[in-house]
Amino acid sequence: MGESVGVLGGTFDHLHSGHKNLILATASECNYLQIHVVSDNMVKSKNASIQSLQVRLSNLEIFLKEEGVNASCFVLEDRFGPAISMKECSVIGCTNETVSTCNEINSIREKRGLEPLKIIIVEHVLDEEGEILSSSRIRSGLVDQSGNYWIKDWEIHTNFRMPEVLDDELKQPMGVLHKGPEDNTAIAMDSALNSIPDDVPIVAVGDVTVLAMQESGRIPWISVIDGQTQRRKWGKSSQIRTNEYRIIEVQNPPGMLTASMMQGCFEATSNQESVVINVDGEEDLAPIPLILMLPLDSVLMYGQPNEGLVVRTIDINAKHRARRFLDAFIEEATP
């Protein structure tokens, strides 16, 4: 093959199996690979939820080291980067979607008297449903970076019982605790809301949390209520405004995640408008399926008894933890 340099360009947001295939396939066609990663300036105008350049570069460097790929990362500030002018470059990798850009690069190179690059077209990786695995599907919260669904279709139609072994662990805060007294919920709520940008969708779980948020003037995307606080009927639940939102009624006894709850969470997270999940039973375990269904960078908020409010930004780690919890649940036979 001789000494040869390959180039790749891309955003590499939430580095996934498709990205990794593309890198390895292109690297196999050259001695040294240059990976040009789109800058924050270029991507933020396109989608503000894309990971920062620093995070994307770090994830790439870790992967390259793990795989022993002879490659370096650079920042890409324009559409073509150095591929249109590098004399020593001989190979460029792409998917079917970006072949046209590679052809444009070769056209410019030929006009400049440079050899055209050998174009390596790498097939997309498909997820469990046969859809193209993409960063946008990962950001939507549907699949992980290998294309596996966070929650399976059959699980949405299944009743689960919580094992006692999880009881203590589930009582631990799953996010950042904003402290405040129970007799003045505005203190913890103001602190929590100040930590969350205005355009971020919030899921509020628990009657006290939902009412406090409504009183703050900010409306949750999804509210989950059951008429109780700390497993006792709560008189102020009647003050929660529900008649202006679509209500999803679900049945969910204590210590359970029922198919009714699962389907209610799925319906709520599949819609853009504000909804209220009204639980006949108990909503304490609702965060588990909600975390698995929510898009990345949305926020889950719930009360921590006698302490304040917990705020959890939905990220890959949150989904892995919720997945581990659900995996420990016991499937109940359908009556």
Asked whether residue 193 is assigned to any structural domain, the reply reads: yes
87 and 164 inside one domain: no
130 and 166 inside one domain: no
- Burial of 31 per CB tally in 10 Å (0-12, 13-18, 19+): middle
211 and 310 inside one domain: yes
pLDDT at 21 over 90: yes
pLDDT at 254: 92
| Domain coverage including residue 290 | 153-331
pLDDT tens sequence across 131-153? 999 999 999 999 999 999 999 99
pLDDT at 203: 97
pLDDT at 156: 96
End of a domain among 98, 117, 139? 139
Q: How many structural domains is the chain composed of? A: 2
133 and 181 inside one domain: no
End of a domain among 87, 111, 139? 139
Asked whether residue 220 is assigned to any structural domain, the reply reads: yes
181 and 88 inside one domain: no
End of a domain among 117, 139, 161? 139
Asked whether residue 144 is assigned to any structural domain, the reply reads: no
pLDDT at 115 over 70: yes
Mean pLDDT of the region 289-293: 97
157 and 129 inside one domain: no
pLDDT at 48: 72
131 and 257 inside one domain: no
Asked whether residue 123 is assigned to any structural domain, the reply reads: yes
pLDDT at 46 over 70: no
CATH number of 61's domain = 3.40.50.620
Helix (H, G, I), strand (E, B) or coil at 72: strand
Mean pLDDT taken over the chain: 92
Mean pLDDT of the region 250-269: 96
135 and 201 inside one domain: no
pLDDT at 335 over 70: no
216 and 267 inside one domain: yes
Cα atoms found within 13 Å of the Cα of residue 42, Cβ hemisphere only: 17
Asked whether residue 148 is assigned to any structural domain, the reply reads: no
pLDDT at 55 over 70: yes
pLDDT at 334: 61
pLDDT at 332: 87
Amino acid in position 219: I
Rounded to two decimals, the pTM is: 0.90
State percent of the chain over pLDDT 90.
80
1 pLDDT tier (thresholds 50, 70, 90) = very low
Q: Which of 294, 289, 283 has the alpha carbon at shortest distance from 262?
A: 289
Mean pLDDT of the region 13-26: 97
Rounded to whole angstroms, the Cα distance separating 189 from 209 reads 8
136 or 183, which is more confident? 136
113 and 238 inside one domain: no
2 pLDDT tier (thresholds 50, 70, 90) = low
80 and 162 inside one domain: no
DSSP for residue 44: H
pLDDT at 98 over 70: yes
Mean pLDDT of the region 175-200: 91
Asked whether residue 89 is assigned to any structural domain, the reply reads: yes
pLDDT at 44: 76
pLDDT at 3: 74
253 pLDDT tier (thresholds 50, 70, 90) = very high
Helix (H, G, I), strand (E, B) or coil at 223: strand
327 or 168, which is more confident? 327
227 pLDDT tier (thresholds 50, 70, 90) = confident
Asked whether residue 76 is assigned to any structural domain, the reply reads: yes
H-state helical runs in the chain:
17-27, 40-44, 53-67, 99-111, 135-139, 153-156, 167-170, 185-194, 207-216, 259-269, 287-293, 316-328
